[in-house]
Copies of this chain bind each other. A is one copy, B any other.
Amino acid sequence: MAVTTTYHKEDLRADLLRVGHAYVAASGHEGLSVRKLAAHAGVSPGAPYHHFPDKRTFLLAMAKEGFDELWERGSAIRAQAGSPIEVLTELAYAFFAFQAEKPRLVDLMYESELTRPIIDPLIVTEQLRAYALLRGAIEDAIPGMADGEARARTVAFWSAIYGYASLVGKGLLQPLASDGETSFQTWRDALVRQTVAAAILENTSDFKR
């Protein structure tokens, strides 16, 4: 006879995450509904609730996969240890690359119902881990900094990198380029050079009170 369609799925949880990532990559997290998700996974509308208590929890699971991948890329860069300047530069470009590859996933991670009106604790945790990575790279360049200075330098670095990637993600920077990709790369390279330099300059006078 015909192939018996399984009633119990192989691993519905993993299927849902797979389907979810595909949907988000294609259309963003805004239009994603539990019903569409279930339909794409070939399952009834209520089934996903046996694997995730909430829609929010499901989105959080997807976001976590994104943060994990980002973390792996970042810690790999730091592990293969070049000079501090090289490490910071590569970290910046790695974030831009991730944002370019999966812009809609980055939206989910940083700008979604998971971050508004109040941010989810898990995302705060992920962010602290990334903060520690950046701070470590900066402290490699300037050993023995006071706590406040290290914080200020890390925050300034991350603000510029995140801000730029975020604006690019919104499509708020391309329209300014009349000469296309060329100048687009030029700003980015200049911004990275500036930001890395500012994070690493030995002159600490700006941070003393």
Contact = CB atoms under 8 A, between A and B. Distances in A.
A172 B206 contact: no
Classify chain A's interface size: 35 or more
A193 interface: yes
Contacts of A162: 163, 166-167
A49 interface: no
Interface of A: 27-28, 30, 104, 107, 110-111, 113, 115-119, 124, 127-128, 131, 148, 151-153, 155-156, 158-164, 166-167, 170-173, 175-177, 183, 186-187, 190-191, 193-195, 198, 206-207, 209
Nearest to A124: B175
A194 B190 contact: no
A153 to B, nearest CB: 8
Given A190-B206, A206-B194, A160 B156 contact: yes
A124 B170 CA distance: 10
A145 to B, nearest CB: 12
A134 B79 CA distance: 39
B28 A152 contact: no
A206 B175 CA distance: 23
- Residue of A107, A117, A119, A171 with most chain B CB atoms under a 10 A cut-off: A117
Contacts of A116: 28, 30, 107, 111, 170
Contacts of A153: 190
B151 A117 contact: no
A105 to B, nearest CB: 12
Closest 3 pairs (CB-CB, A-B): A163-B163, A159-B164, A28-B117
B117 A190 contact: no
B151 A176 contact: yes
A28 to B, nearest CB: 4
A25 to B, nearest CB: 11
